[in-house]
């Protein structure tokens, strides 16, 4: 089972005086990169929220937002009446023709004309908000799981394609070796020189061993099976799958460099193409 790092989760809480909307968006990243946006009243809870996100989201570039919409006559901003009156008196001294409305418009723009009373967190209210945050986390993880299922289908199809191409390589290999042997023999015979057949066979065996890909075929098959096992394991581990894909690539490259056979190299190119697409998608796996 794998999870994508791409996801979206949202939850809305309706309170008597306000509407609280929680949103979570995530993209791929090597580590957890959390960007939190919330009203200042909730800032003291940010550290706890970061720990909660790290526990449940693990990795990804995550944008976490809390939006608060006031729906009742409840405001923490009040007019500082004595200061505004004093500003208006001073303005009258320099602007005799101004009426009180115009002076008031100017006065309320000056510093300290408005007082903002710092709100304190209502713990009962926060418990409700925290519950909604956990719902949003559940929603984004469900989204990630669904995206992961799509990725899993793609991986299974591409790994199967590589495995099928490997079988073609295995089937082709005996003819390739025989072809190399015949080309060498023909090349020596064309020289029309006498040679020691026993010594030639020894040298031929040594030369052909350099082109032997038996170990690479076995290791590649094992890596493909291990990739499939890891996808179906309980935990999603994109980094582990990335390491396995590197090993798959190493064996494919070695087969290509040793093959010395055009039809086999064509199969290797196809395997490389499938593997590159797998690696691109692995960047999105949690």
pLDDT at position 194, please? 66
Q: Is the pLDDT of residue 60 over 60?
A: yes
pLDDT at position 79, please? 76
How far from the centroid of its chain's Cα atoms is residue 73's Cα?
43
pLDDT at position 199, please? 67
* Higher-confidence position of 207 and 81: 81
pLDDT at position 77, please? 67
Predicted confidence band of residue 101 (pLDDT cuts 50, 70, 90): confident
- What is the per-residue pLDDT across 233-281, written as a single tens digit (0 to 9) for each? 888 789 999 999 999 999 999 999 988 888 999 999 999 999 999 999 9
Predicted confidence band of residue 73 (pLDDT cuts 50, 70, 90): low
- What is the per-residue pLDDT across 205-215, written as a single tens digit (0 to 9) for each? 667 777 889 99
Compute how many other C-beta atoms are within 10 angstroms of the C-beta atom of residue 271.
Answer: 27
Instruction: Say how far apart CA 231 and CA 238 lie, in whole Å.
Output: 9
Predicted confidence band of residue 97 (pLDDT cuts 50, 70, 90): low
Predicted confidence band of residue 118 (pLDDT cuts 50, 70, 90): low
For residue 259, which of 175, 135, 143 has the smallest C-alpha distance? Answer: 175
For residue 207, which of 196, 199, 216 has the smallest C-alpha distance? Answer: 199
Instruction: Say how far apart CA 233 and CA 241 lie, in whole Å.
Output: 11
Q: Which residues contact 204 (CB under 8 A, 6 or more apart)?
A: 181, 184, 185
Give 7-74+121-145's CATH code, choosing from 2.60.40, 3.30.230, 1.20.1730, 3.30.1340. 3.30.230
CA distances from 11 to 54, 123, 130, 131, 141 (A): 19, 19, 11, 10, 13
User: Residue 37 forms beta bridges with which residues?
Assistant: 65
pLDDT at position 193, please? 64
Q: Which residues contact 119 (CB under 8 A, 6 or more apart)?
A: 41, 76
- What is the per-residue pLDDT across 144-201, written as a single tens digit (0 to 9) for each? 999 999 999 999 999 999 999 999 999 988 887 777 777 776 766 666 566 667 766 6
Question: What does R_g of the chain's alpha carbons equal in angstroms?
Answer: 35
Highest mean pLDDT among 40-44, 52-56, 121-125: 52-56
* Higher-confidence position of 207 and 24: 24
**Tokens, residue 128:** 């409700």
For residues 95-112, average pLDDT: 74
- Residue extents of the structural domains in the chain: 7-74+121-145, 77-116, 146-282
Report the percentage of the chain scoring pLDDT > 70.
87
Q: Is the pLDDT of residue 26 over 90?
A: yes
For residue 229, which of 152, 282, 284, 138 has the smallest C-alpha distance? Answer: 152
């Amino acid at each position: 089972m794998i999870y994508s790092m791409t996801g979206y989760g949202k939850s809305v809480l309706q309170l008597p005086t306000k509407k609280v909307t929680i949103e979570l968006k995530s993209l791929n990243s090597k580590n957890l990169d959390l960007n939190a946006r919330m009203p200042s009243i909730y800032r003291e809870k940010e550290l706890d929220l970061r720990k909660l996100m790290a526990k449940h989201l693990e990795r990804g570039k995550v944008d976490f937002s809390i939006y608060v919409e006031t729906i009742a006559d409840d405001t923490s901003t009040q007019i500082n009446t004595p200061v505004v009156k004093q500003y208006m008196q001073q303005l009258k001294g320099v602007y005799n023709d101004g009426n009180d409305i115009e002076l008031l418009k100017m006065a309320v723009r000056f510093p300290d004309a408005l007082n903002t009373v710092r709100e304190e967190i209502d713990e009962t209210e926060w418990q409700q908000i925290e519950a909604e945050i956990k719902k949003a986390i559940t929603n984004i993880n469900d989204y990630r799981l669904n995206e992961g299922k799509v990725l899993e289908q793609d991986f299974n199809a591409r790994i199967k394609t590589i495995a099928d191409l490997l079988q073609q390589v295995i089937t082709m290999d005996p003819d390739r070796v025989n072809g190399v042997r015949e080309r060498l023999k023909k090349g020596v015979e064309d020289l029309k020189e006498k040679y020691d057949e026993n010594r030639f066979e020894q040298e031929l065996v040594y030369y052909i061993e350099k082109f032997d890909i038996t170990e690479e075929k076995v290791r590649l098959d094992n890596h493909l099976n291990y990739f499939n096992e890891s996808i179906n394991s309980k935990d999603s581990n994109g980094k582990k799958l990335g390491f396995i894909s590197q090993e798959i690539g190493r064996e494919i490259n070695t087969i290509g460099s040793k093959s010395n056979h055009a039809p086999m190299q064509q199969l290797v190119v196809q395997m490389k193409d499938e593997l590159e697409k797998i690696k691109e998608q692995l960047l999105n796996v949690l």
